Amino acid sequence: MTEIRHFTGLEAFEPATLRAMIERAALLKRAPETDANALAGKTLAMIFETPSTRTRISFDVAMNTLGGRSIALSPGELQLGRGESISDTARVLSRYVDAILLRTTKHDSLLQLVASAGVPIINGLTDRTHPCQLMADILTFEEHRGPITGQHIAWLGDGNNMAATWIQAAAQFEFSLRLACPAAYAPEAEILDWALARGADVAVGEDIGAAVTGADCVVTDTWISMSDDAGKQKIEDLKPFQVNEAVMAQAAEDAIFLHCLPAKRGLEVTEAVMEGAHSVVFDEAENRLHAQKAILLWCLGEAS
Ligand code: CP
Ligand code: NVA
């Protein structure tokens, strides 16, 4: 039996496979007609435990423009919400659809789905990682600044699921990543250790200047993630790590600013940076669509 092509995390891939997906995404962006009917007759089920604008709509449009279709569901619409197990849900859905996307606040739920499903599983964000977003982010960086290998990326703020996925990406795409996060909100140690063991050029500290000086790209994300029950104290603790014009002035003159969105203007990033010359956040949001087409084509066996 051929191996099922899950897209659950960047760490699971050979770098060349991720690179091929990025190239495919760039081609699809330039020439969307290339794969117009590649997924004809295919269905993607998407289960969202928490809200989504970009992931939900961009996957739906991606499936449609590749000739397939998608069904978006919340646990409350499924027997899952009344206690049917993830395992049984996975086995049933696998008889109807060709791939399943899950957004969950528990990474373990994603792993349970993988263990029981007979079709590819796509990580639509968990409390640990958000790999689809990172594929769009790499695409965005490269279309503005050229190949990311060897470049300097700075992360400011919470060491959350996005920070962890940037760490995985630094290992896979071989760029320098400097994270400035309060020690209490540092990224997950296991993911950092994995990257360092692979020789990744990643450093985590609290010094904003050290992270951002000369950076080719500055990235941040919301201070309170969907899986995070932190209160007001966390916001106070993170205030010094806001991306504002003074921070951007320390980066390279042609640095870009990335944010996966949704953004809380006035907290992790100022209005001036969001709307300023460095910001490419709406290209980044658009690139979810192109990157995910490449992911879907890979998962469904239509591309190498
Ligand atoms: N960036 C992102 O995943 O956005 P949504 O939560 O809107 O899907
Ligand atoms: N870190 C954020 C990303 C949202 C797309 C969260 O998990 O809520």
Tens-digit pLDDT profile for residues 63-96: 999 999 999 999 999 999 999 999 999 999 999 9
Lowest mean pLDDT segment, chosen from 2-6, 53-57, 163-167: 2-6
Compute CA distances 232 → 181, 228, 303, whole Å: 17, 12, 46
pLDDT digits (tens, 9 = 90+) for 215-249: 999 999 999 999 999 999 999 999 999 999 999 99
10: pLDDT strictly greater than 80: yes
Residue 168: pLDDT band (50, 70, 90) is very high
Return mean pLDDT, the chain. 97
pTM: 0.97
pLDDT digits (tens, 9 = 90+) for 31-74: 989 898 999 999 999 999 999 999 999 999 999 999 999 999 99
What pLDDT score does 2 carry?
73
Quick one: average pLDDT of 106-129? 98
Q: Whose CA is nearest to atom 8 of ligand 2?
A: 225
Residue 199: pLDDT band (50, 70, 90) is very high
Ligand 1 binding pocket includes 45 (Cβ within 6 Å): no
Q: Which is the catalytic residue, given 103, 107, 128, 178?
A: 103
* Ligand with smallest separation from the Cα of 48: 1
The residue length of the chain stands at 304
Whether residue 288 contacts residue 137, with contact meaning beta carbons closer than 8 Å, is answered with no
* Ligand with smallest separation from the Cα of 132: 1
Ligand 1 binding pocket includes 152 (Cβ within 6 Å): no
